[in-house]
Amino acid sequence: MAKTPVVFVLNGSERASFAEPGQNLLEFLRRGVGDLSPKYGCGQGTCGACTVTIDGETHLSCLTLAESVAGKRVGTAAGLATGNQLHPLQEAFMEGFAAQCGYCTPGMLVSAKALLDRNPTPTREEVVEAISGNICRCTGYEPIIEAILAVAKGRARA
Amino acid sequence: MIQSVETHATLAEAQRAMGSDAIFMAGGTLVMRDVNAGATATRIVRSSDPELGDIRLSGDGVTIGAGVTMAAIATHRDLSFLAPVARAVGGPQIRNMATVGGNLFAPHPYGDLAVALLALGARVAVVSQSGAPRPIMDILRERGRVGLVASVHVPRPQSPADFTFLKVSRIKPKGVSVLSIAAHLPRQGGRIRGARVAFGAMGATPLQATAVERVLDGQNLDASTIARAVQVAVEGLDPPTDALASAWYRREVAGVHLKRLLERMVRG
Amino acid sequence: MTMGFRKEFFADERDDNLNEIGKPTRRQDILGHVTGRSPYFDDHLFDGLLHIRCVRSPHHHARIRRVDTTEAQSMPGVVRVLVGRDVPRNLNTLLSLLDFGIDDEPLLAETKVAYKGEPVAAVIAETEAQARAAVAKVRVDWDVRPHVLDVEEAIKPGAPVVCEVYPGNKFIYHGKYDHQKLRYGDVEAAFARADHIVEGRYQMSPIEQAPIETCGAIAAPETNDRYVCYTSTQALFFSLGTAAKLLTMPSNRLHFVGGTVGGGFGGKVDSLHEPLAILGAMLTGRPCKFAWDREEEMQVGAPRGAERWYIKDGVMRDGRIVARKFTGYFDSGAYTRLSSYAIIKGVGHLPGPYTIPNVYADVYCVYTNRTPATAMRGFGITGVDFAIEAHMDKVADVVGMNPIDLRILNAYRDGDMKAHRREAKNCALIECCQVVAEKAGVALQATSRGASSLRDGGGERARLPAHTALDQKGMVTGIDTGGYARKGGGASRQPVSMPGYSMPAAASAARPPAQASPRPAAAATSAAPSQSSTTPPPPPAAPANAGDRPRQGAMRFSSISGLRRR
């Protein structure tokens, strides 16, 4: 079976690897490219643990055909920090106890970042809708919502 | 097991490439689930035809390319009457991926947009069939054999207040439908003319509640009309039992939710 | 959302100059979580990784006539197809590590399946997609049998036998009884004196833990003839011991790495991934991943087991509960796993946080053709607590009392004797009730407002009952409860086969036959013999071959049946 070369941009740098026919983007990123930050939770598009951005919009990588990102810009949770400099969302999650087992966290952060990038001052309702495609079994969501709102408020003050 | 992926420049070529060993993929929100689980098809067929993403005003409504996503519908200025429906589909990630065309073929319990399109009397352009676009109910009935869909023409409601959609799900804001209801009740001189009421997740496809439509036609939308409509809410419907709800439950609550939806329309 | 501290309670029992407790702190692993660096089992890359997927029973209950793997073996990418006889030791029970139970569950079923989803073969292939395709080509010839999915149906005579080790579909406790007993005082006498009898039936369906991370393990050959295994388990040493036993491999050849769990909630304690992943690595010489997909996690993954409880209270007019009788059924599903222990925990918990002078419990660990059950959040306790508290509300309704007042009235206080014959210490139910009432705006009686866990306990309430009614109900004979422990690392023995056991003819009245040598530390039920009981407790049944034929197992860590006596 022929594999397809896929050249794309991951978290700002150009990457290339080979996709199996029908391989989803999640497996491609994890095993083909080595970015382990998006996670497998269901393979059915219900849990959101695999959330990445494609050209700035959130997508479920488990339901995305790997080869469809050729030439596109993909963003994952691993791309939030710059070296040791954490993104304000990461700081806020740590400060606000917004993760317990941590498995939903990469997907949550990607959804949260996508929200704040297009809407820096969301209402609580808008935050809830933005993370409505990410399931968390541990925190009950409140600390996550508060952390996102805290970042928005911090930016509004700045 | 998938052995190859083909992307065709036009929808017509994609339709010619289809076969019993192939599945067509648009947004992937349904097809990739099957691929991940071990689909029996060996080929994925896609199309990069730019017409799939078109949204054009035409005649009495809007023609939406089959590849237009829920997110695009939710933000398009000429589709504000459909925005609440599009926003009820999946979560934000799904809405960035899921397409109008895919929603027409979504198996129970999915297909919330198709429910709204059915209530609005949409017509569907089928790639392999020339001639005028066909009523959506025909396409839903024949969806196992109708082939690829190019676009959907949605007549615009004369007044936004004439069209309402309600989705019942256990989890909010994102959840799968226990059932959904769309109602288009154009009024002339206060009386309903040409009522269309559609149910989702109450049968194998979105279905019109014809008994309800017959009760509503020619009437004012008032308490006694609503009461009579609710009485026949599930007449002619045979809702399924699935992991979300039993047939009994769906039958019990359909009328309750219909009542709420109609009362909401009265309040405006 | 800030947490409130009610520091006025138990103020003189507590040192408020603590450095960590009561002060916010960061999780030590949260930096890894927010950077995506926390190393879950699947976050390890291996060149040449193989994927394992199981062939699973579509039936609740069936005999396996034949498993045909020939077509699957020749599918593209398939390296090997495993069946039961490829497993070095294909029979286990998880608590053999704690010297409790009888081996009853195969890793890969060979003769029959007892729950929907039970694995009968495992395909190892180059990609997950190829493994799935080959699984679909394994042909199993099933002889479908009648099944039973309800605990009370399963223990009726003539019910399908779920687990052949236990022909009555009930776990045998301490080699003697088909249920766990708690006897404290005399409930029947107390019922006769009570003003009200309140009965209730409560039940809980299985509850799936549904962590976002599914269960799985990756195993690979490592240096020095060892295997490394990255696993999602919550119970690393349990997993290590189970793998060593099933693979008949000394545990020092296993290098287990875990502790980063993407949600467990009790659902990742059953340790059945690692043996298959390691076996794959042993037989192929390559790294092998065995992980459940979401459908398997929900259907095959062990849930919190269903429970059904019958509670009967004898209540006085003023709301005092003078007797409580429990009959409980835990749905263990098709195999024992940890459910036998859940009941021991649960029974130790009875009758709830209340001082009740007469308590009786019969709790059954029942086998049904449902998915084998496991732990979840308050293992063995949460279900019965739901039943107890629902019942308290019912009692309150019958006697016409505010449900919080009723609880404060019956609450245990420091110094009270509890039904399992230990004194209550550090009680706080009363204070919790008072704060709840305050926050919920519920007006309490003056006596409730003035009550305290520190007062009015002990004294009369510290005394054991003068008489405890005992019985031999549910006694069985013919079952061997020899231990798994090997002293001095002796040679491994053949497993003891368990013959069908028998119930004595008049179960409730029968006296056990005269015994040769009572075993010293065994057969400790949760009710130690009453100190002033008029009926001497029967000596433990000593089966003919006890003690001289220990069963196969890893070195024993501790013993569940020899509870430490204080």
**C-beta neighbour count of C12 within 10 angstroms:** 5
Residues C326 and C409 in one domain: yes
The Cα B63–Cα B60 span in angstroms is 10
More confident residue, C556 or B98: B98
- Is A113 at the interface with chain C, CB within 8 A? no
Q: Are A41 and C212 an interchain contact pair (Cβ–Cβ within 8 Å)?
A: yes
Q: Are residues C370 and C451 in the same domain?
A: yes
Beta bridge partners of C30: none
Cβ within 8 Å, pair A134-B91: yes
Question: Which residues on neighbouring strands pair with residue C321, listed in sequence order?
Answer: C315
Min Cα separation B36/chain A (Å): 6
- Tell me which residue in A27, A86, A101 faces C263 most closely, judged by beta carbons: A101
User: Nearest Cβ partner of C33 from A44, A102, A135?
Assistant: A102
Report yes or no: C77 at the A interface, CB cutoff 8 Å. Answer: no
Name which residue leads in pLDDT, C247 or C541.
C247
- Judged by a CB distance cut-off of 8 A, whether residue A81 touches chain C is yes
Which residue among B2, B28, B71 sits closest to A63, beta carbon to beta carbon?
B28
B50-155 placed in CATH 3.30.465.10: yes
Q: Is A148 on the interface with C (CB under 8 A)?
A: no
Q: Given CB atoms, is A147 within the 8 Å cutoff of chain C?
A: no
On whether any CB of chain C is under 8 Å from the CB of A75, the answer is no
Contact C121, C113 (CB under 8 A): no
3-state SS of C463-525 is: CCCCCCCCCCCCECECCCCCCCCCHHHCCCCCCCCCCCCECCCCCCCCCCCCCCCCCCCCCCC
Q: At a CB cut-off of 8 Å and minimum separation 6, what does C523 contact?
A: C174, C175, C176, C481, C540, C541, C561
Chains that touch A (3 or more CB pairs under 8 A): B, C
**Claim to verify: residue A94 and residue A75 sit in the same structural domain:** no
pLDDT-derived band of residue C531, with 50, 70 and 90 as boundaries? very low
Q: Are residues C135 and C160 in the same domain?
A: no
Q: Are residues A141 and A110 in the same domain?
A: yes
Contact A77 C35 (CB under 8 A): yes
Q: Does C293 touch chain B (CB under 8 A)?
A: yes
Q: Does B1 touch chain C (CB under 8 A)?
A: yes
Alpha helices in chain B (DSSP H): 11-17, 31-37, 70-75, 83-87, 92-97, 100-104, 112-119, 136-141, 210-216, 223-231, 247-267
Confidence of residue C489 (pLDDT cuts 50, 70, 90): very low
> Which of C274, C299, C324 is the last residue before a domain boundary?
C299
- C276 and C356 in a single domain? The answer is no
Domain end point (choices C245, C272, C299) = C299
Q: What is the mean pLDDT of chain A?
A: 96
Partners of residue C136 in chain B, C-beta under 8 Å:
38
Give the Cα separation of C533 and C186 in Å (integer): 11
Residues A57, C175: Cα–Cα separation, whole Å: 62
> Strands across the sheet with B177-184, in order?
B163-169, B177-184, B196-200, B207-208
Looking at every residue in chain B, the average pLDDT score rounds to 96
Interface contact flag, C133 B37, Cβ < 8 Å: no
Average pLDDT over residues C123-132: 97
Q: How many domains does chain C have?
A: 2
Cβ–Cβ under 8 Å, residues B181 and B200: yes
* A42 and A9 share one domain: yes
Confidence of residue C271 (pLDDT cuts 50, 70, 90): confident
Contact between chains at A133 and B97 (C-beta distance less than 8 A): no
My answer on whether C412 and C347 are in the same domain is yes
State whether A92 and A126 are in the same domain: yes
Whether C246 and C365 share a structural domain: no
- Name which CATH class applies to B162-267: alpha beta
Domain boundary among C445, C462, C479: C462
- Shared-domain flag, residues C167 and C224: no
Q: Tell me, yes or no, whether A99 and A133 share the same domain.
A: yes
SS3 of chain B: helix, strand, coil, percent, to 5: 35, 25, 40
Nearest Cα to A62, choosing from C94, C205, B34?
B34
Tens of pLDDT, residues C179-200:
999 999 999 999 999 999 999 9
The reply to whether residue A102 touches residue C29, judged by beta carbons under 8 angstroms, is: yes
Write the pLDDT tens digit of every residue in C152-176: 999 999 999 999 999 899 999 988 8
Are residue C100 and residue C241 in the same domain, yes or no? yes
**Domain CATH number, residue C333:** 3.30.365.10
Pick from B1, B36, B44, B171 the residue to mutate for testing the C interface (most C CBs within 10 Å). Answer: B1
Q: Rounded to a whole number, what is the distance in Å from the CA of C454 to chain B's nearest CA? A: 45
Asked if residue C310 and residue C288 are part of one domain, the reply reads no
- Which conformational region is residue C271 in: left (phi greater than 0), alpha (psi within -120 to 50 degrees), or beta? left
Task: From chain B, pick out residues whose CB is under 8 angstroms from the CB of A44.
Answer: 33, 36
Residue A30's CATH number:
3.10.20.30
Tens-digit pLDDT profile for residues C287-342: 999 999 999 999 999 999 999 999 999 999 999 999 999 999 999 999 999 999 99
Domain end call among A54, A79, A104: A79
C14 confidence band (pLDDT: 50, 70, 90): confident
Say if residue C552's pLDDT is above 80. no
By the CB < 8 Å criterion, does C205 face chain B? no
Cα(B179)–Cα(B199) distance, integer angstroms: 7
A133·B96 Cβ contact <8 A: no
Q: Is the ipTM of this complex over 0.95?
A: yes
The Cα–Cα gap between C460 and C413 comes to 12
pLDDT value, residue C496? 45
> Domain of C252?
50-145+209-299
Write out the residue range of the structural domain in which residue A115 sits: 88-157
Nearest to A42 among C32, C34, C294 (CB): C294
Highest mean pLDDT among A88-97, C9-18, C556-565: A88-97
Q: Verify whether the Cβ–Cβ distance B3 to A1 is below 8 Å.
A: yes
Q: What is the CATH number of the domain that holds C284?
A: 3.90.1170.50
Contact between B95 and B173 under an 8 Å Cβ cutoff? The reply is no
Alpha-carbon distance C218 to C255, whole Å?
12
If asked whether residues C157 and C189 sit together in one domain, one would say yes
| Residues 6+ away with beta carbon under 8 Å from C17 | none
pLDDT per residue over A53-84, tens digit each? Answer: 999 999 999 999 999 999 999 999 999 999 99
C425 touches chain A (CB under 8 A): no
- Report the distance separating Cα C34 and Cα C40, nearest Å: 13
Report CB contact under 8 Å: B4, A45: no
Contact B3 A21 (CB under 8 A): yes
Does residue C500 sit within a domain? no
**Chain B contact present for C123, CB below 8 A:** no
- CA nearest neighbour of C335 among C544, C501, C102: C102
Report the CATH number at residue A138: 1.10.150.120
Within 8 A of B41 by CB-CB distance, chain C residues are none
Q: Which residue has the tokens 């549904």?
A: C210
Q: Pick from A65, A67, A133: which is nearest to B91 by CB?
A: A133
Q: Is C136 an 8 Å CB contact of chain B?
A: yes
Which chains does B contact via 3+ CB–CB distances below 8 A? Answer: A, C
Across the interface, of A67, A68, A129, the residue whose CB is closest to B92 is: A129
Is A2 in contact with B173 (Cβ distance < 8 A)?
no
Which pLDDT belongs to residue C526?
36
User: What pTM, to 2 d.p., does this model score?
Assistant: 0.90
Question: Per residue in C491-512, pLDDT tens?
Answer: 344 344 445 556 654 444 434 4
For chain A, the domain total comes to 2
For tokens 């045979």, name the residue. Answer: B238
Domain range summary for chain B, segments of one domain joined by +: 4-47, 50-155, 162-267
Instruction: State the nearest Cα–Cα gap between A127 and chain B, in angstroms.
Output: 11
Q: Is residue C264 part of a domain?
A: yes
Given A43, A136, A137, which is nearest C293 (Cβ)?
A: A43
CB of B2 within 8 Å of any CB in chain C?
A: yes
pLDDT for res C19? 86
pLDDT tens by residue, A92-129? 999 999 999 999 999 999 999 999 999 999 999 999 99
The whole-angstrom separation of Cα C298 and Cα B38 is: 18
Q: What is the pLDDT of residues B148-194, one digit of tens each?
A: 999 999 999 999 999 999 999 998 888 899 999 999 999 999 899 99
φ/ψ (deg, to 5) at B71: -65, -40
